[in-house]
Copies of this chain bind each other. A is one copy, B any other.
């Protein structure tokens, strides 16, 4: 019923081998023969059988991209950039590859299961985006899985994620600590002394690093941090809204709120406004990531820009073997402080 290589071969009066070679183009085939084959392919409307081809050749053209939340532009932007470089149709890369975007939802089990699924598909490469989960057993399981993938010839690249030791994985890590520190230094420079911090979920590297940067800046400035000034939440707007109200309840004298990321910062802004506070006159707000909407907030958000698209593109190229891995397999990608309207000197 379905057209196979053999059918094409018969029609073109050549052997299946020849058809295969024409299609893969890695073996000399006379121009006239090639033409005949291509015509047959066209006439029969032949479509290669991917699984069969993958099985015989022991390789596949699937590339996995793991993201925490595909609905979040932070991941969407990286995924998009990675995918463009992977060279799906229209990409500059030669062979047409299928990018498989997998949504882990931040769940450790899913992360692992997806990796197994990709391993099962004999994926050509896998790119993991976003922070890692800091759970000892899970980290061990991940490392082991990544090692196996690497051993099986799958190229593994971590994009915006800390290195995975004892693994062949290439890591392009965001300097969350440095960015967090710079951001808080900016606030301190403006004269703020009482800063609330809305952190992301615990046991996430991203959360921890940004928070560490923040605390390092405080410490360097000789400020004793009040434990009440830190609240943990999710990486979304809602969480930012609630956390801000909580922060305000705990200490109404705060003059600045630093958020785990831009979405959280937006929620913080909303909460402040709803509490009758002006930004930045009464309270300054800062975000992280510099997602596209941040500049449109009113006032526009002071934040740390992470080169998401660039990092994704680079990760994609490395995954495809079109760019050399950084020395040591690790590269630290710095963020850039974007000072905008949401931060100003403290009131009074």
Contacts A55-B55, A102-B98, A237-B292 given; does A89 touch B109 at CB 8 Å: yes
Pick the most buried of A80, A114, A270: most chain B CB atoms within 10 A of its CB.
A80
Q: Return A262 CB to nearest CB of chain B, in Å.
A: 10
Assembly stoichiometry (copies): 2
Chain B contacts for A110, CB-based, 8 A: 88-90
CB atoms of A89 and B113 under 8 A apart: yes
Indicate if A83 sits at the interface (CB-CB under 8 A): yes
Chain A facing B: main interface SS:
helix
Decide if A96 touches B73 in the complex (CB within 8 Å).
no
Q: Which of B51, B72, B105 contacts A60 (CB 8 A)?
A: B51
Most chain B beta-carbon contacts within 10 A, residue among A49, A96, A121: A121
B70 lies within 8 A of A88 (CB):
no
User: Residues of A with Cβ closer than 8 Å to B?
Assistant: 2, 45, 47-55, 60, 62, 69-73, 76-77, 79-80, 83-84, 88-90, 96, 98-103, 105, 107, 109-110, 113-114, 116-122, 148, 152, 237, 266-267, 269-270, 273, 292-293, 295-298
Would you give 14 A-B contacts (Cβ < 8 Å), ordered by A? A50-B54, A51-B51, A71-B73, A71-B79, A71-B80, A80-B103, A88-B110, A89-B109, A90-B113, A98-B100, A99-B100, A237-B292, A237-B293, A266-B296
